[in-house]
Every structure is written in C-alpha cells, then in structure tokens.
Amino acid sequence: MKFEFLKEEPHGTTKAFFLSSAVWMVLGTTFGFIGAIQLVAPELLANIPWIVFSRIRPMHTNAVIFGFVGSGLIGCAHYLVYTLLRSPLYSEKIGKLTVWMWNLAVVLGTLTLSWGYSQTREYAEWIWPIDILVLATLALMFYNLFQTARRRQEKLLYVSVWYVFAGLVFTFFIYFFGNAVWNPATGSITGMPDGILAWFYGHGVVGLFLTPLAVAIAYYVIPIACRAPLYSHTLSLLGFWSILMIYTHIGAHHILQAPTPTWLKVIAITGSIAMLLPVSAVLVNLWLTMRGRVANMHATIGGKFVFAGILWYLLTCLQGPLQSLPSIQKVTHFNNWVVAHAHMGVLGFSGVIALGGIYFILPRITGRSLHSEFLAEMQYWLVLLGMAGFFTVLTAAGLIQGHGWLQGETVYRMLPQIHIYMVLRLAIGVLIVSGAILGLYNIFMTLYGSRGKEGLS
C-alpha cells in the first residue's frame, strides 16, 4: 500500500485528528508522569537535560492542550460542521494538510522545548516559527470550514456550529496577540503589561479554544444520545454571546496579587463571578434537555464521557469564580490547588468531552462499532478515577502549602509536608497514562484493525 500524504477519503480529516489526539494523549500524559516523578524523587532522572522538570512541564501542558485535547476537539469540530450543515467538507486535501501541520507544530514545539528553546510564558512557550505554523494551520482550518459553511444544504446553523466558528476566530486572534508574534525574539511585550497580555492569553487559550469546542460537542452529542430536542434556543443564544463577552475579560485574575492596575483586577474578579451566567445558561439548557433521560446518555460510551465531562465543567466553573476572590486566593495562589483546578478544566472537562466526541463519532464514520467497548469503559473509569484522585490529592496539597505559607512557613519548609501527596499523585498518574494507552490501542484498532464488527450496533 502506497502512503499518500494528503490522501482523500471520506471523514479522512476527522479520523486523522482522532488518531493524533490518541497519540498525544499517551505522549502528553507520559510527559506529565515524568514531571511527577521528579517532584517525588528529584535525583532519579538527574542531569538528563531534555526531560528536566522545567522543560518537561511545558512539554506536558502544550502537548495536552494542543496535541491531545486540541486535536480531539478539532477532529470532532470538522465532523460537526459538515454533518450539521449537510455538506461534505470543502476539501479533504486541505483538511489532511491541516492535520499534518498541526501535528508538526506540536512535534516541533515539544522538541524545541526539550532542547531548551522557550519563550517561557505559560502555554505560549513555543518559539516564533511554531507560533506561525499554528496560526497558519488555524487560518487554513477556518478557511476549509468556512467554505464548507458557504456550500451548506442546511440553512439553519445549529448552536454547535456557532461555537466552532467563534472558537476558531477567538483562538486565532488570542494566539496571535497573546504570543506577540510581531516580536519574534521574545514573543512578548515589556513589563507588567506583558504579564497582563500573557494572562489574557493564558486564560483565554483554554477558555476560548478548548471550552467552545467542547461545549459544541456537548450540544451535539446530548440531544442525539438522549433522543430529545434541545431545551431552549434562547438559552443557547444567551450562553453563546455571554461567554464570548465575559470569559475574555478575566485573565488578570491570575495576577491579582501582583502590581496589576486595580481597576483591571476589579474587572477580572467581577467578570469571573459573572462567568456563572454563561455557564449556567449552557448547563441548564443541556440539563433540561437530558431531564429524565440520563439513562439514555449512559447507553453509549461516547454519551457517558460527555455526561462526565459536563459534570466536571460544572465543578470547574463553580470553583473558578470562587478562587478568583482575593480572600480565597490568599490561600490558594501559587500552590497545587491551582494545578488541581487546571487539570479539572483541561482533562476533566474538555479532555473527557473530546474522548466522548471521539467515541461517539467513531462508529458513525467507520460504519462499525468500536474495536472494544470494554476497553473504552476501562478508559472511562481510569480517567475518571484518576481525575477525581488528582483533584483530591492536589487540592489537599495546595491547602497545606497555602496555609503553611500564610502562617509564615517558608516554601522549603513546606516541601516535606506535601511529599506524600506528590507520591499519591504519581501513583494516580499511572491510571491516567494507562487510560491513554488503552485509548490509543482502541482508537487505532477501530480505525485500522480487521476485528471490528460490521454494521452500526
């Protein structure tokens, strides 16, 4: 069989993004695992430059955000757009090209970080050439999907489609400005404004890239899985426009305790509290769609993942506004509490929904059931238990650190106090990495294995 770089096949782009997501989930979680080892036993992997903790941590965060969750959500987004608009993808060739470019960006980003080239601002660590590659890929993706929308058979745009397009537009601009691509050498501006810009980006790249795409998938999967119409168009509109207006303002809550202008802190805090509005609009809408039909959601593994994902969304979005309050940040800032929160947003919410989307869509594009429902169930429980364990352990460690510091203990004195939590976190990491490996095997075999049963069950 000849390998074709831009092979055109039905759903080819979606499939390729799914496979990329599965591969990056294994790599990204493994990077995290290697980092976690170093927080338990700093000498075990000493003097290996390319996996030293401070390099592997951004390798982990970027591979997970862009590689695992990003690819999974983008793959689903392509499928949603051409399915909901009843029109084939404008160009599978461009689609495949974007798959390769996206993966090339994550590979190069990972390698350059590992070699010690970094611009160091969180989630904007990748150096300039990779930023350009990411932006070019996003632009090409937008072009491909927008052309699909222009050729659509379905006149009405379903809410998932709104989120996909808004997500792509916001991601492009926030990536462009956030990485300060007009300053190739540093990828930044100067002084406190750079902190403000960097957190406008750092907050937004999760909230305006991962969140809209994950919400798009939830809006798509839930009515189908429940066999019920969406509860309310008005709530959809409210949730959609309000998240775009509010989420964007609040990045400065990451630097509330720094010399940030006070009025900006006020905007960031009030905006963070106001986030309860878009979140409850979306969740109430989805919840009432599912009312009395939660069992239907759990009839398929895809639906199960999506349901779990929106539960984590609820928890994340209750915790988020809470921890933006200065009186709470006094304890929680700078410690593992925030790490727990970040995992809840990226793995618990958007990562789990990406997996849900993949498992929901895979049988529909391959025309046969998953290679193994059992392995997918296993992965579901491994990821959920892992996520719940992470959250508990890291939150506990964070509270211990935070209260210790507040009482005048130094950072060094608190390290032995959190050691056991770092050990537990490493152990729990085994669950998540094994879940990722099962997922890769299952997704690969579903796409390319010969054992799959014919016909959609």
Contact set for another protein, span 165-224 (CB under 8 A): 165-166, 169-170, 173-174, 177, 186-198, 200
Question: Among residues 196 and 274, whose Cβ is nearest to another protein?
Answer: 196
Q: Cα–Cα distance between 331 and 337 in angstroms, integer?
A: 9
CA angle 20, 24, 30 (to 5 degrees): 160
Closest CA to 384 of 360, 356, 403, 417: 356
3-class secondary structure per residue, 67-106: HHHHHHHHHHHHHHHHHHCCCCCCCHHHHHHHHHHHHHHH
Which residue among 330, 364, 368, 403 contacts another protein (CB under 8 A)? 330
User: For residue 450, how many other CB atoms are within 10 A of its CB?
Assistant: 6
Return the residue of 114, 324, 335, 442 that touches another protein, per CB under 8 A: 335
* Contacting another protein within 71-90 (CB under 8 A): none
Q: List, as one string, the DSSP characters of 270-293.
A: HHHHHTHHHHHHHHHHHHHHHTT-
Q: Which of 38, 160, 316, 332 binds another protein (CB under 8 A)?
A: 38
Question: To the nearest whole angstrom, how small is the minimum distance from the Cβ of residue 169 to another protein?
Answer: 4
Binding segment toward another protein, per CB under 8 A, in 14-22, 119-127, 350-358, 365-373: 119-127
- Give the angle 343-166-70 at the CA atoms, nearest 5°: 35
Is 43 near another protein (CB under 8 A)? yes
For residue 430, the minimal CB distance to another protein (Å) is 20
Which CB sits closer to another protein, 170 or 360? Answer: 170
Should residue 420 be labelled a site residue for another protein when binding is judged by CB under 8 A?
Answer: no
Provide, rounded to whole angstroms, the least separation between the CB of residue 255 and another protein: 6
- Residue closer to another protein (CB basis): 125 or 131: 125
- Total residues contacting another protein by CB under 8 A comes to 83
Burial 428-441 (b: 16+ CB within 10 A, else e): bbebbbbbbbbbbb
Helix 233-247 to helix 262-274 angle (10° resolution) is: 160
CA distance 348 to 341: 10
With H, G, I as helix, E, B as strand and everything else as coil, classify residue 222: helix
Residue 292 beta carbon to another protein: minimum distance, rounded to whole angstroms = 28
Q: How far is the CB of 449 from another protein (least distance, A)?
A: 38
Alpha helices in 179-232 (DSSP H): 192-205, 211-226
Which residues, 279 to 318, sit near another protein by CB under 8 A? none
328 in contact with another protein (CB under 8 A): no
Q: Which of 294, 406, 420, 430 binds another protein (CB under 8 A)?
A: 406
Question: Pick from 11, 57, 343, 371: which binds another protein (CB under 8 A)?
Answer: 57
Residues 138-167 that bind another protein (CB under 8 A): 146, 149-150, 157, 161-162, 165-166
**Cα distance between residue 16 and residue 443, in whole Å:** 11
Residue range at the interface with another protein (CB under 8 A); choices 93-101, 111-119, 286-294, 429-437: 111-119
Taking CB under 8 A as the binding criterion, the range among 18-26, 102-110, 121-129, 286-294 that sits at the site for another protein is 121-129
